[in-house]
Copies of this chain bind each other. A is one copy, B any other.
Amino acid sequence: MRVAMNLLYAQAGGATAVINASAAGVIASAHERHPRIGTVLAARYGILGILAESFYDCTGIDTTALAATPGAFFGSCRFDMPTQEEQPELYDRLFAVLDAHRVGTLLYNGGNGSLEVVAKVSEAARQRGYPLICVGVPKTIDNDIEGCDCCPGYGSAAKYLATSMREACRDLASMTSRRGRVFVMETMGRNVGWLALATSLAAHGLDDAPHIVLCPETPFDEARLLARADAVISRLGYCAISVAEGIRRTDGSPLMAHTHDTVSEHMRFGGAGGEVALMVSRTLGCHHHYAAPDYLQRSAGHWVSAVDHAQALAVGQAALDYVLEGRDSIVAVIRRLGDDPYRWDIVPVEAAAVANLERRVPQAFITDDGMQVSEAGRRYLAPLVEGERPTNCARGLPVHSCNTLPTLPQKLPPWPGWGREPTHARRG
């Protein structure tokens, strides 16, 4: 009886270039297991879409096109789920919706915070006697999920940023200048430097860009940065620096003034790279350029890592396997079996054991001076960006051709807890 219930898939947190490959892994595997698994539903905008009873029917979806589409195809959200004790009515609503749509399986695809949702919903189901299997599918360009050797989404963002750094520095090296030049690229990473560190793959040797990498894991030291930049510019005529948006001074204060976003309850960063560029430029009297790829680094579907894409697909498939084994409140994580040749598999870990932790870059991956990747770090990073995938283009631009899906009629009264939402969200 239980296996014939419906499966609900949802996406949460910031999108990645390959999160839809995980969706495709889940959905295609579930469709293969029909009728053991009933209808595959997808929530529009994550947990908020579940509460709002906003569902797509995935029966007719083109999973191949889906897997090649960047962004969160079904819509995502940022929502800090309270506990059942804090807000029982939220859970009343949640399980009423799940029950109304005969949902027996919830697959939640997200980062640290989203894996906590898995643990909380699973626990609440147990307490309420609701027959639910809840499994987490990891995803984050930040690469900071504990217990996961690497996170789907990270490898593609890393590949994009390392490629961009290598290419931009062909340009940087092109121009002569008596004063010297500094180029700064700011990567995402509020608390962790995984993405900034990944740009170091662009370099073959010490004279190659990026010459300096600044991560939040190492306190920012202006004098040391300036001394190093000066030395590099004296030697080469230019210097390229990767800066994680969240770098902090020794007293823990962010380099850039940040604002507290009252809606998302997240700190908003941005501008640390520009600040570093100006700092170097003013002190050393050199030209400066500053790039902030922002969304581009996590949505570059035309340049994903084939390894990352395969892993994103595989965690979705593995999560479905765990569902069929009846394993609840776990997460399908990637385990590394070897560096070179790179080998990996997928294993389950307890959602509660890894939820809401944050895996920072280990000191062993950063050189002693705090400004470059170590050999151990390079060994870790190198395989994650490997391999290219063809991009489906029309008239010179990538085509995201996944089909529009029917939405399900609502069976419950509207949920008052969620106000205005976009009247339309693009799917095609």
Instruction: List A43-72 residues whose CB lies under 8 Å from chain B.
Output: 45-46, 48-49, 69-72
A167-B398 in contact (CB<8A)? yes
Determine the distance from Cα of A362 to Cα of B177 in the docked complex, in whole angstroms: 34
List the B side residues contacting A398 at CB < 8 Å.
163, 166-167
A4 at the B interface (CB under 8 A): no
The one of B48, B73, B163, B295 that contacts A397, using a Cβ cutoff of 8 Å = B163
Measured CB to CB, the closest approach of chain B to A187, in angstroms, equals 12
Measured CB to CB, the closest approach of chain B to A189, in angstroms, equals 15
Assuming the contacts A159-B396, A396-B305, A396-B388, asked whether A296 and B173 have C-beta atoms less than 8 A apart, the reply is no
The one of B15, B263, B397 that contacts A171, using a Cβ cutoff of 8 Å = B15
Interface residues on A, range: 35 or more
A75-B396 in contact (CB<8A)? no
Measured CB to CB, the closest approach of chain B to A275, in angstroms, equals 13
List the B side residues contacting A167 at CB < 8 Å.
17, 70-71, 295-296, 299-302, 398
The chain B residue with its CB closest to the CB of A427 is: B173
Assuming the contacts A162-B397, A397-B162, asked whether A295 and B171 have C-beta atoms less than 8 A apart, the reply is yes
A260 at the B interface (CB under 8 A): no
A289 at the B interface (CB under 8 A): yes
In the complex, per-residue mask of A295-320: 1 if CB is within 8 Å of any chain B CB, else 0:
11011111101010000000000000
The chain B residue with its CB closest to the CB of A167 is: B299
A263-B386 in contact (CB<8A)? no
Measured CB to CB, the closest approach of chain B to A190, in angstroms, equals 14
The count of identical subunits is: 2
Determine the distance from Cα of A11 to Cα of B91 in the docked complex, in whole angstroms: 66
B296-A293 in contact (CB<8A)? yes
Determine the distance from Cα of A78 to Cα of B172 in the docked complex, in whole angstroms: 13
List the B side residues contacting A385 at CB < 8 Å.
395-397
A395-B391 in contact (CB<8A)? no
In the complex, per-residue mask of A1-43: 1 if CB is within 8 Å of any chain B CB, else 0:
0000000000100110100000000000000000000000000
A76 at the B interface (CB under 8 A): yes
B236-A424 in contact (CB<8A)? yes
The chain B residue with its CB closest to the CB of A234 is: B423
Interface segment, one of A121-129, A365-373, A404-412, A414-422: A414-422
A75-B207 in contact (CB<8A)? no
A176-B208 in contact (CB<8A)? no
The one of B17, B177, B179, B183 that contacts A295, using a Cβ cutoff of 8 Å = B183
B70-A238 in contact (CB<8A)? no
Q: Can you spell out 7 A-B residue pairs with CB atoms less than 8 angstroms apart?
A: A46-B176, A164-B296, A166-B398, A201-B396, A293-B296, A307-B396, A388-B396
Interface of A toward B, CB cutoff 8 Å:
11, 14-15, 17, 45-46, 48-49, 69-73, 75-78, 159, 162-164, 166-180, 183, 201-202, 207-208, 235-238, 261, 263-264, 270, 287, 289-296, 298-303, 305, 307, 382, 385-388, 391, 393, 395-398, 400, 418-426
Beyond A168-B294, A236-B426, A305-B396, list 13 extra A-B contacts (CB 8 Å). Answer: A15-B174, A15-B175, A70-B171, A71-B167, A78-B175, A167-B300, A167-B301, A172-B295, A177-B422, A178-B420, A261-B287, A385-B395, A386-B395
